[in-house]
Structure 1
């Protein structure tokens, strides 16, 4: 079983960073079905198109052999389809794209028309694959499509008896410019999509994951939190934060939140950190012993107290912890357990730290912006 990468603090819900920084966007089930339906549609159009021909230029295959190649493509496409429904990986994406490029190249090579309409299928491959998975794979399929075009027309001119015409040159130049324009446009769309994805998952004030990002990251972690890869949840709640807001204003309150977020993030060292809402913070960590958690508690409390004293602002913190899978298998259950431990710890602190009721509904807590 693949383990969660605790060193990667980016939320892995939509973006798969399976090979370092060269990740890809993972499409949902509807997009997968749409993409493979388009492939089947291309297969059907190719069969219909070449069925109307009595023969094809015998460059590499006869028309019967070309139909056999299309049959192999259909079988490969079906296999990739079922694999994609089980889980999209970079290997399967590249395999399906390679199959697309090879079969389109064979169709262009054996197209009897002087300006082969089948060459437009390269654009289908480029847009259908590249615009789904991100710029890295878009660049790969663009390079593959240009290479496929060059090889296809080289075979046509060299072995198929075709001659270069003005129409071929215009078509080639038009295709290259259109592909490059799509690449530039996709780069801008990708940038906007990355910004939207970041804003939907990260808290703008602290730079940590927001509640949505934490919940989605937790799905990945706790799906793998078996006996071989347990996890720890740390819950932090600032004391007297409402008093800081009331006395010094929301600007100072925001500063306190931002400073504590940095302390919290640096103190846990490894894991997924986020702002749950208001003055509450959550960290999802690899399994830690009680001694290790005590050291983390002491580090957070010491740095919080030092910052409070040096800045003349009252900032204290209460902490609670829970463990997966023994305390629960989902983030909400684990937070409820950690919340109980948090208030047990808070009850040992001075009375002025007790600013909130013991009973709360975690689902209804205010969400961080």
Structure 2
């Protein structure tokens, strides 16, 4: 089957330009640097493919060297974009492609320069693309569905360019870069047009998935302390309640800072915010496995845990109170000690609702405050005490 190289190049120009524009528009709304790198890469492919059309007019230096150099540069930008996306620092060794390609300028008089040029170009593109695919591997954390798709497409694209070098090394293979002749070149044009569409869509999906995940995380987190907010607590609480049984009690600890207003009055709201962050870090450090911590608002925090015992709750509350009182005294001295009051409820059957459990905790919390503050009020509703 014969392919019209000019038609395929025109299609490539249009697809690459559309991809560059599409990713640039996405970048304006998301401001992910990876999108900018990818957009620039597709723009260069569009320009390079336009220059490649000049070969038929006899402008071989521009139509071959500049066009193919642009293709290599574009794939280097794809790699840079993936590195930005995965927060990976690239070695300066990846810049060696520039002197390698410039060195190819010395070869036009060589009898096998078309084959040599194709092999070097293909190896460089394969190297960049396969490295980009490697950077997108999960390595302990998921990068999203879009990233997984992009990884596979880049892997196949890189393997194609790697395989493209093998027929070029076979004696007698027809490769004429000046006239776009030879089966390898024709297949490359088809693969390139298809790859542009798939890579562009996967790149957009990759960043979009990350953006949605970030929005979801932000919606579930308190902006100051990064603990869960009340909405996220309500979503996750049923999972804890489902594990509660007679031999596996659950517990809720409602925590409030005593005399917190004095911190703001004497040291300013910035100091108050720092103290809230410090308490959240203490809670996070002492949090048992499979427990949930949230900031309900103001200076009120909650810890919800399964597989709890009376001794575990008392030890957790004592550690929190001791660490917090010491930190508050060191950083925010006030006429009255800034401490913690805690109301805790131990239960061995799922509560009617989180709201009902919080209401019980609220009663215990204020009982702690009425009894002199800086204390734990615990009601053990389980049938097996520890």
The TM-score with structure 1 as length reference comes to 0.49
Q: If each structure's helix is expressed as a fraction of its own residues, which one has the higher value?
A: 2
Of the two, which has the highest radius of gyration?
2
TM-score (norm 2): 0.47
